[in-house]
Structure 1
Amino acid sequence: MAAGWCERLPPQPVRSTPMLMKSYGTHSKHDHCHYMLKHLQDGDEIRVHMPLDIVGHWVSESCEVRPGPEFLMRSYHFYSNHTFQAFQFYYQDNYCTEPSYTLLIQGTVHPRQGSWVVRGGTEADYQLSRVLLVSHSPTVARELQAKLAWSCGLKEHLEPALSYEVWAEGPEHSGRDCTRSLDFSMQELQLLRVERRHRHGDPGRQGEELFLGDVHTEHTQRRLHKPSGYQPPMLSVKTYDHTCITCRLISAADLHHPPILPSQNDHHLQLYGNWVSKRCEVRPGVLFLVRHFVFHEDNIWEGHYYHYSDPFCRHPTFSISARGHYSQGVPSTKVMGGTEFTFTVTHMKVTAMDMATTSLLNIFSGDECGKQGSWQLGVQQDVTYTSGCAALGIRLPHTEYELFHMERDSAGHMLLFNGQRPTNGSSPDRPHKRATSYQPPLVHCIPSQEGSSGSVSIWCMLYPMTQIWYHSTHLLIITGIAGAVVKWS
């Protein structure tokens, strides 16, 4: 338990965190979900080997959703001479059954030093040499031709199934770049992380996952964005589980033959019950967390966020407890397969989980986050009467516009996705700011057994004192309802 509820480091002496152990004991009504989280901790042992080795063939685990929205799957080959060849397969639907176009990207990538921005990640330099484009239908070819004509004056008539060079380096090509209108960028190669998971009970079996940098939620910022988080992990072709049909289809695909996933119907979105994180998650802004949501039939919601200062989720710093209500969902007209909700926070409690955060809350002037100067390590305060916590950037009541989606993974587990947080750290507090892509999924554990009047806890952790910047009168943090994004100013 001392190692956290997500992934476990290789065996080593670990000193328990008394306040964390105490906090676990407050959730006895969710024992089944806690057991599931504990099982996730024990089921896989995570190792991150340095120096970084990304050589091999990596593929998406499912149909991915990027901001826009864009639906795609990826197949990347990295070679020992630092060259790479990457396929990006784009689709018209959220289940990747209708291919739109494919990009073949070639170039070089050189891993460098450990990241100063995202703990546990490795920074890298990359250089593109060539990008080819193939459309897979006459309609898509016409749409792409219109875009390319606008971005680089392309007058050639695009034909489906034929490849076109849209990016090339070298003086003989005059540095041709016709990819701007496609919102194309490979900035994701600037941040890398490889995890090896040793499956519980079978030391000989291990799965490898490659995490690449996140894509900015604003299209205009993609080419300038320096990653501060990750996209969904890609699986090694050598080690992925045999049940991953998607992996097999992607690994056999090429420029002219995109993978086509089996068709399926959208799952009826039923939030009722408990949902927990599948892994220790990473958020832009150097944040690591495990989440636990509880939805009641009377449209009351709870959230449990366990935030940490490290990528293995071992070191908690403070907790937030909140509760509120949510609207009935309506199908999204912008994101295929998505459902729109409105969430409101009406109650909130805060607990400092380390001395650094305790000190920061105590130096915050004014009674806008509990009673000034009264914060003690591990002692929870109700801040509802102060209309939230100005030190954390949360004023009550607080409303956000959310996007949810539900599907099953290759093992048959029901997954729940909610909206990706804006890269700039803002809150989706207006309808037009609603997400068009998703955070890492939560897995269903058990239905809620307690009434809406039950206690609620959201645990959020921040970095140690030496990592925190603050104003003399405000510790500026913006914490979202479902995303727990924190931004320093």
Structure 2
Amino acid sequence: WNKLPLAVQTTESLAGSNLWDVPTSHLHPSTNFSSKLFWEPQCQTQLRHLQDRTRITATIPPRLDGHWVSSRCEVRAGPEFLTRSYIFYPTRLFKAFQHYYCDSNCHVPAYSLIIQGKLRLRQASWITHGATEAEHNLQKVTLVIHNQWAAHRLETRLPSSCLRLGSGVQLVPSKLYELFNAKAKRDCLGALHFSMMELDLLRLEIQYHPLHQPSKELFLGDVHTDQNQRAHYRPTGYQQPLQNTMHHIHPCPVCALMYQSSEQSPPILPPSWSIPLNLNGHWISQRCEARPAVLFLTRLFVFNEEHHTWEGTYHHYSDPMCNHRTFTLVASGHYARMEPSSKVQGATELVFKVIRAKVTMFEQTMLQMLNSSEEGSCGQAGGWEPGAEQDITWTAGCGMLGILLPHKEYELFKMEKDHKNRSLLLIGERPTDGSSPDRPVKRPTSFQTPMVQCSPDTAVPQHYSSRSDVSTGPEVSSAIIHHSVFSIFLIVN
């Protein structure tokens, strides 16, 4: 560590020559389908806010010392409902609490895991720009159960021999059970699909606010949507960020509850702020979003509940601050509501059909690939130019980009109010393996980063203006781009 810089302040790229460097290397007749959208002032303001380089800095390597907590009830695929409370010490040791719940509001605790171990920061990630790679070693994992229902359920998942329980001995609430001990070579974690691989990818952001002190957010690696893959999956995207208990966003009522919690007294979150689903209006990303397979993007959606139509605009970037565009995808179609979700309380099941799509490409490697594609397979072969939009509807999509039209997807939506009384829209999380939820059995059970309503207007805009630059960053390999597009396309990543 004495040979490394204490911190590198970066909003896009790194400089230097050590481990912390990365190479710089059926629609309503009035709908006007265009990727050049003009947004209402509040939507435009939100976009500029996302792209303000002076508002956010990232520290590499990150200084993790301190207490980091969830700011909301988190949902993982399964579904699993949990809150997280992680403490990192200057000695590189960590102690993490994961509190699991019976309900999607995190109001009824089921059990908690106490995870102890050691974390070593390795180097700046060569895969996920702006992130730090790390290596964790578990020392001990302990279980404490909070109610009899959870005890009975865990008894069916955890072998009594693993816990060294005697014949006929049952699990009881409030008692500590050791699930993992590195020294004793005891490991019962597989039965719970437990993994701390999220610690192997980190990003720490400091946000500057005009009326409050700076806030710190810690992004940890994404968790695989297939529970059977979690133990071996190396993350390339992020989960919802954790807040620093001393420097958190305002307001954050959940942060205080998390700070005061313990393994025997898990946080009981306030009643849900879920509201009836009303998709009307414009919805936009709250931050530059990261996805598995090295994707950075912002999303804009317009829904019309009367006509059941939608349009989504996805701007993709080469950097974690979403300043350098690589390509833009605009898709539209119609949707139908089905019924309330039986798995995630307050959520609604929908079916979306994608009818049309247009792509604007800025990245040179992909432009060359698209221009060399077979005639009729992906827009006009040989007609792809930087910044020029191509309609790929007439070629039934684009095989090279993994886009098939028309296309149906089975979705999960939920709406909430945040602490500022803003309407939030949560859309189903995409499968980590890049597949599409094209069958009911593949419908999501968890969510992406919430989007915020920036306008109640349901009209599809006419023009778009963005101050983002065409990507001047490192070239992205064609293999990565191909996988990325396939993994994020329909309905909205």
Letter in 2 for 1:383: I
Pair 1:317-2:330 in alignment: no
By how many angstroms is 1:412 displaced?
Answer: 2.2
**Please, which moves more after superposition, 372-381 or 434-443?**
372-381
Aligned-residue offset at 1:354: 3.6
Q: Distance in 2 between matches of 1:272 and 1:218?
A: 32
Number of aligned residue pairs = 457
Match of 1:232 among 240, 256, 264: 240
Task: Give the aligned partner of residue 487 of structure 1.
Answer: none
Question: Alignment partner of 2:365: what SS?
Answer: helix
Corresponding residue of 1:68: 78
| Structure 1 residue 51 displacement after superposition | 2.2
> For structure 1, which segment, 214-223 or 409-418, has the greater mean C-alpha deviation from structure 2 after superposition?
409-418
Summarize deviations over 1:93-127 as a string: whole Å, max 9, x none. 11111000011110100111011221111111111
Query: Any idea what the Cα deviations from partners look like across 1:398-439, whole Å, max 9, x if unmatched?
Result: 111111111122222221110111111111111111111111
Change (3 A) 1:41 1:378: closer
**Moved >6 Å (runs of 4+):** 456-465
Please state if 1:301 is matched with 2:310: yes
What CA distance in whole angstroms lies between the structure 2 residues aligned with 1:185 and 1:11?
30
Equivalent residue in structure 2 for 1:447, among 435, 438, 456: 456
Report matched runs for 1:165-204 at 5 Å: 165-170=178-183, 173=184, 175-199=185-209, 201-202=210-211
Amino acid paired to 2:72:
S
- Residue 307 of structure 1, CA deviation: 0.6
Residue 88 of structure 1: aligned partner: 98
Q: Which residue of 2 aligns with 1:363?
A: 372
Rounded to whole Å, the distance in 1 between the matches of 2:46 and 2:248 is: 22
Question: CA contact under 8 A between 1:101 and 1:136: conserved in structure 2?
Answer: yes
Tell me the distance in 2 between the aligned counterparts of 1:154 and 1:458.
64
SS at match of 2:37: helix
Q: Which residue of 2 aligns with 1:140?
A: 150
Unpaired segments ≥5 residues, structure 2: 1-9, 15-33
CA shift, 1:134, in A, is: 0.7
Displacement after TM superposition at 1:29 (Å) = 5.0
Alpha-carbon distance in structure 2 between the residues aligned to 1:409 and 1:342: 26
Given candidates 405, 412, 419, the residue that maps to 2:421 is 412
In the alignment, residue 401 of structure 1 is paired with which amino acid? Y
C-alpha contact 1:208 1:239 (8 A) present in aligned 2: yes
* Contact kept? 1:273, 1:444, Cα under 8 Å: yes
Give the deviation of 1:43 after TM superposition. Answer: 9.9
Q: CA deviation at 1:314?
A: 1.1
Partners of 1:135 and 1:85 lie apart in 2 by 18
2:294 is matched with 286
Offset of residue 441 of structure 1: 0.6
Q: Distance in 1 between matches of 2:186 and 2:160?
A: 14
Amino acid in the other structure paired with 2:274: D
Q: Distance in 1 between matches of 2:279 and 2:229?
A: 33
- Residue of 344, 362, 371 corresponding to 1:353: 362
In the superposition, the TM-score normalised over structure 2's length comes to 0.87
What RMSD in Å do the two structures reach over aligned CA positions? 2.8
Secondary structure at 1:48 match in 2: strand
In the superposition, the TM-score normalised over structure 1's length comes to 0.87
Distance 2:458 2:344 in 1: 32
CA contact (8 A) 2:347 2:414 kept: yes
Q: Which runs of 5+ in 1 are unaligned?
A: 1-7, 13-23, 485-489
Does 2:392 correspond to 1:379?
A: no
1:264 is aligned to 272
Q: Distance in 2 between matches of 1:120 and 1:262?
A: 34
Mapped partners of 1:418, 1:86: distance in 2? 28
Q: Quick one: distance in 1 between partners of 2:178 and 2:163?
A: 14
Q: 1:242: how far off?
A: 4.8
- Going from structure 1 to structure 2, the CA distance change for 1:353 and 1:364 (only over 3 Å counts) comes to same
Q: Deviations over 1:216-260 (max 9, x none)?
A: 100110101111111100000011135211000011100100010
**Larger relative contact order (CA 8 Å, sep ≥ 6):** 2
Which whole-Å CA distance do the structure 1 matches of 2:178 and 2:13 have between them? 50
Q: Which of 46, 49, 54 is the matching residue for 1:36? A: 46
Are residues 465 and 372 of structure 1, via their aligned partners in 2, closer, same or farther at CA, if it must alter by over 3 Å?
farther
Question: Secondary structure at the residue paired with 2:133?
Answer: strand
> Does the 8 A contact of 1:10 with 1:46 survive in 2?
no
Partner residue of 1:425 out of 426, 429, 434: 434
Secondary structure (helix, strand or coil) at the match of 1:28 reads coil
Deviates more, 1:382-391 or 1:423-432: 382-391
Instruction: Show the counterpart of 1:16.
Output: none
Measured at CA, do residues 429 and 456 of structure 1 come closer, stay the same or move farther in structure 2, by a change above 3 Å? farther
The alpha carbon displacement at 1:356 in A equals 3.1
SS in 2 for 1:324: strand
Verify: 1:402 aligned to 2:415, yes or no: no
Question: In structure 2, what residue type is equivalent to 1:77?
Answer: I
The aligned counterpart of 2:175 is 162
Amino acid at match of 1:286: V
Kept in 2: contact 1:303–1:457 (CA 8 A):
no
Q: Deviations over 1:331-367 (max 9, x none)?
A: 1112222211111111112222243332221112222
Deviation at 1:462, TM superposition (A): 9.1
- What's 1:18 paired with? none
Q: What is the deviation of 1:37?
A: 2.0
Mapping for residues 85-124 of structure 1, pairs under 5 Å: 85-124=95-134
| Offset, 1:154 | 4.3
Change (3 A) 1:476 1:185: closer
Alpha-carbon separation, structure 1, partners of 2:216 and 2:448: 21
Amino acid at match of 2:151: A
